[in-house]
Amino acid sequence: MSFLGPAQGVVLLVLTLAAFAVCVFALVDALRRPAQAFEYAGKRTKQFWGILLGVASALSFVSIGGGGFLFLVVLAVVAAGVYLADVRPAVRSYGGGGAGGRGPYGGW
């Protein structure tokens, strides 16, 4: 980070930390969903998204603070963004149990 000023370095650190947080959130969300939900929604498999988001999380972790892989952070955030904007809403609609939004004790 020697080519950046102190303020730019702080902004870069915050942005790379945010990218890492988004990638990890997407990864954890994908791993919590049942594999059948991905098939039901007509999306790629849970294994595919787990691997893709795991690699994205690793790349964004390596780039924290400007570690030379900044161009790969863009790809990592795009992968997480596609999951969060397209796949997550589709797999959330899968009726695989739970209270279904009716509270912790189910419907009355």
Q: Where are the domains of the chain?
A: 18-92
pTM for this predicted structure: 0.80
pLDDT at 62 > cutoff 80: yes
Q: Which amino acid is at 60?
A: S
CA 9, 16, 67 angle in degrees (round to 5)? 70
Cα–Cα dist 30/10, whole Å: 30
Q: Tokens for 102? A: 């009716």
- Give the best-scoring range by mean pLDDT among 28-37, 86-95, 97-106: 28-37
